[in-house]
Chains A and B, each alone.
Chain A
Amino acid sequence: MILEIVSSVLVIAGAIFAVIGGIGIVRLPDFFSRIHGAGITDTLGAGLILTGLMFLSPEWTVTVKLVAILVLLWITSPTATHALANAALETGLRPDVDETEEATSSS
C-alpha cells in the first residue's frame, strides 16, 4: 500500500514534468532554448516515471529492466542533445542570446 502511494506520487510528478517540458518546447522562443524544454522531459520526466514504476514491479527482473532503460536514457539523451546542438551550431544556426561572455572557471 505504501509502495503504491510512493509509486503514484513519483509517476504523477514525472508526468507533470513531462507535460511541462512539452509546453516548454512549444513555448520557448528559439531552438537553443527549446533544447532545455526537451531536457526536462528526458531527465526528470523519464527519471521519475521509471523510478515510480520500479516500486510496482512484480519481480526483480522487471526492476533490472527499468534501471537499464533509465541508465540508457540518461546516457544517450545528453549525447543526442549535444550532437543536435552542435550540428545546429556548425550549420550556422546562432543562438538568440542577450550576451556572450568569455569566462574561465576558477579551477
Chain B
Amino acid sequence: MTYAAGLVAILAAVWLLLSGYFDKPLLLGLGAVSVALVVFISLRMRIVDDEGLPVQLPAGLVRYLPWLVVEIVKANVDVALRILRPSLPIRPRVIRVRAGQRTDVGRVIYANSITLTPGTVTIDTEGDHITIHALTEEAAAGVLTGEMDRRVARVEGRG
C-alpha cells in the first residue's frame, strides 16, 4: 500500500512537470484519471513492490551518479581519440567478473553502468557473473579494479 501511494505521488509529479499547467481543472482531472488508471493496471500486474519502486536507491544514486558521469566522460574521450587515430589502436578482449551486489536491481545498475561507459559493454549475465567485451586493455583493467562494483554495492546500501 505504501508503494501504491508512492507510485501515485511520482506519477502525479511526472504529469504536472510534463504538462506545466497547475490551474486548468480539465487537465488536472485528466491527469488524475490517468494516474488512477496506471496505478490500477500496475496493481493488477503485481509490479508495485520494492523492485518496481526502489525507494532505497535515490540516496545512494545521488552520490554514485557524479562519479559515474566523470568516468563516462573520461572513457568517452579515450575511445574517441582511439577512433580518430589512423592506426586504430584497439585490442578487443572478453573478460568475466563477479558482480558483488546483493540484489537484482544492484546488478542491473552495475551491468548498465558498464555498458554506459564506452570501451566496455556487458554482453552476458548469468547468476552473479557478468561477461564484458572491452575495447582496450586499459578499459578492461578499469573494470578489473572493481571500483565500480564496490560503488554500486554501496548504492544498494542498507536497503
Segment 43-92 of A: residues with Cβ below 8 Å from B:
43-44, 47, 59-61, 64-65, 68, 74-75, 77-79, 81-82, 85-86, 88-89
Q: How far is the CA of A91 from the CA of B125 in the complex (A)?
A: 15
Is there an interface contact between A32 and B92, defined as CB atoms closer than 8 Å? yes
Is there an interface contact between B93 and A43, defined as CB atoms closer than 8 Å? no
Q: What 1/0 mask marks residues of chain A from 81 to 107 whose CB sits below 8 Å from any chain B CB?
A: 110011011000001111111111111
Is there an interface contact between B83 and A43, defined as CB atoms closer than 8 Å? no
Closest A residue to B21 using CB positions: A61
Is there an interface contact between A44 and B72, defined as CB atoms closer than 8 Å? yes
Q: A28-B90, A107-B150 are in contact. Are A40 and B135 (CB under 8 A)?
A: no
Number of interface residues of A (CB under 8 A): 49
Q: A65-B18, A95-B94 are in contact. Are A85 and B80 (CB under 8 A)?
A: no
CB distance from B52 to the nearest CB of A (A): 15
- Chain B residues touching A, majority SS: mixed
Is there an interface contact between A23 and B83, defined as CB atoms closer than 8 Å? yes
Which of B4-12, B24-32, B38-46, B110-118 lines the interface with chain A?
A: B110-118
B121 at the interface (CB under 8 A from A): yes
Q: A36-B118, A36-B121, A101-B93 are in contact. Are A107 and B133 (CB under 8 A)?
A: no
CB distance from A26 to the nearest CB of B (A): 10
The bracket for how many chain B residues form the interface is 35 or more
- Chain A residues touching B, majority SS: helix
Is there an interface contact between B93 and A39, defined as CB atoms closer than 8 Å? no
Is there an interface contact between A85 and B121, defined as CB atoms closer than 8 Å? yes
Is there an interface contact between B97 and A105, defined as CB atoms closer than 8 Å? yes
A8 at the interface (CB under 8 A from B): no
B66 at the interface (CB under 8 A from A): no
Which of B100, B111, B119 makes the CB contact (< 8 A) with A105?
B100
CB distance from B144 to the nearest CB of A (A): 6
Binding site for B on A (CB under 8 A): 17, 20-21, 23-24, 27-30, 32-33, 35-37, 39-40, 43-44, 47, 59-61, 64-65, 68, 74-75, 77-79, 81-82, 85-86, 88-89, 95-107
Which 9 interchain pairs have the tightest Cβ spacing?
A105-B146, A61-B20, A78-B115, A39-B118, A24-B83, A44-B76, A78-B112, A85-B123, A107-B100
